[in-house]
Structure 1
Amino acid sequence: MAVAILSFGLLRTVIDAWYIGVEASSETRLVTRNSISLIFRLPLSYRDTIRQIDGVETVSYGNWFGGYYIDQKDFFANFAVEPHSYLELYPEYVIPDGQKVKFTSDRKGCLVGKKLADRFGWNLGDTITLTGTIFPGKWDFILRGIYEGRNKNIDETLFFFHWNYLNESIKKLQSTLKDHVGFYIIGIENPYIAAETSEAVDESFKNSLAETLTETEKAFQLGFVAMSEAIIKAIQLISLVVIFIILIVVANTMGMSVRERIGEYAVFKTLGFRTRQISLLIIGESMVITVFGGITGIIMTFPAAMGFSMAVGRFFPVFNITWETMCLDLAVTVTVGLLAGIFPAYRAVTVRIAEGLRRIG
């Protein structure tokens, strides 16, 4: 029972980790990208047009950089962003004031999450060299700030640097990619105007060479989750199979226990024990077994999740056991205990006294 609850809890935590970006999304942030695909870029000139739309408070922009550190195995998410407006839109990134000033004022400066800095042993002032894939070459950055998440659901494995630094380097190559961004982040007054503002943004660039698709940050994140929908469904199915296996094992255990002691229950009936008392005795035994095993499994889940997080931290930067998962574990435990005890209890209370006494010895 403990191992099964441990497995169930880990599987549910993996599913939660897949949706962590969705849960951390803000209702007052919109994401604008090219309507064809995220890999197609948008002109920087769109920024001024978006700012003039009613309800828009802040506009930031950036590019997915796609670089890696030393080896391609050392992959992590890295973005070129406009630092001032981007940090204004993401107050959940907690940065000491001094580090924030240094990062925003140094064009070659970079900002990284605490978990990422700990992973590579980076310290403030270190020079970090990334190898570009989308933008080839060696790119040097100076670590000016390390941020922490406002809560445990904030990803602390991200790498940010100045968009201007990227754009100026592209201009030297006279590339067609200059003065283009991969996405816009839009801060709006309140979540109730999200649909209206999104429609206004897309209408502003309709029939242009680069039409846009604007959606809430949550919908944008769900789009990435949908790419792995088959895997998520498979994990959910496996978690249900685990529950079914628990039920069968516990029900079989209780069934064997009741069959071995059917004579004892017949004696109880002879002594005047009522049906309800015998039923509670059997169901109570089933509950003791499942609850003890379930609580043991929940306790074991925490060190197991910590080890799992260390092994797959690159893929699941935020891997926390939620209260919902623990409550679900307890609900499963109680449900299995009740269902596994009901059928043996019914067998014990319906057997005739004479038939039960024949089995003594």
Structure 2
Amino acid sequence: MNAMMRRVVIGTAAVSMALSMAACGKAGSDSSGGDNKTIGLLLPENKTTRYETFDRPLMEKKIKSLCADCKVDYNNASQDTETQKKQFDALITKGVKVIILDPVDATATKSWVDGAAKKGVKVVAYDRLAEGDISAYVSYDNEKIGELQGEGVIQALGDKAKDSRVVMINGSPTDPNAGLFKSGAHKVLDGKVKKIVYEQDIPDWSPDEANKKMAAAVTSLGKKGFDAVYSANDGMAGGIITALKSAGVKDVPVGGQDAELAGLQRILAGSQTFTIYKGIKPEAETTAEIAVALLNGEDIASLTPQKVDSKSKKGVPSKLYGAQIVTKDKIKDTIVKDEVYTVQQICTATFAKACKDAGLQ
């Protein structure tokens, strides 16, 4: 082999090796060295038990089933926006290309999400509609959930509804879902009850703060000054019910949302009237499917049949799930049937008699 031939062969081998290495690099990392087999997962808080009990493990399990070599980089912001921004920025720095984001403050995310999108990072808004150039959104029809909550209150009041006065304890003002729940509830309650006599938004969905506001309502209105309480979720309903008990207020319907274990037990015991059951599993698993599809550069149209507008983006590809009112007599055919909680988990010794009375054994 002459020198010229040798140079051509060596040169060809070098090009071939370079192309091979580039292909390997493409499969495992982006050009900046980031690992594109990692999906970021950022959840907002842990006061609401569902996030650590259901949302996180369900998404992690589904992602692993769809992509065996994928990793999930998880962080919880503990209700702090600045903490969540740092967590988001850290994922971008690591080269993560898909982030599932359930924002602490949905309006604060616009600059983060827009900046990420410019770098080719896909952000999936989970449960709450984050502002900015998001790629997809998975949640529930949250105004409809508010309507269901309002209907739950009306059903609990029965024939007395039109003469009833209602206290409303709403969710966090930084959570866009809370505003939709409130809007939906007002749509049903306004005109069907005598009056909303006291209404407060509760920062951070805090049960302690809800307890204080309910105590203030009792002081302001008197023990007989209201006939029902709308609570935006089960966690706050717990705080509200404690305040009512401390004040000696009895037989006042209290609604909630999320089908938390403690909420279900209060429903069985009779201190809480209803909750709203939202199937977290389909929400979490669809989000995982979308994240993996985006990671692989696949089309997500079949997973996102709806379009939703945020303040900053029109026509966000979305999937919105429905929900239902759950009272004592419906726990078995919803929560237990869907294996959210077992009878054993719900019916601890304290609630054994209540469970038996409700046909939960």
State TM-score, norm by structure 2. Answer: 0.24
TM-score calculated relative to the size of structure 1: 0.24
Larger Rg: 1
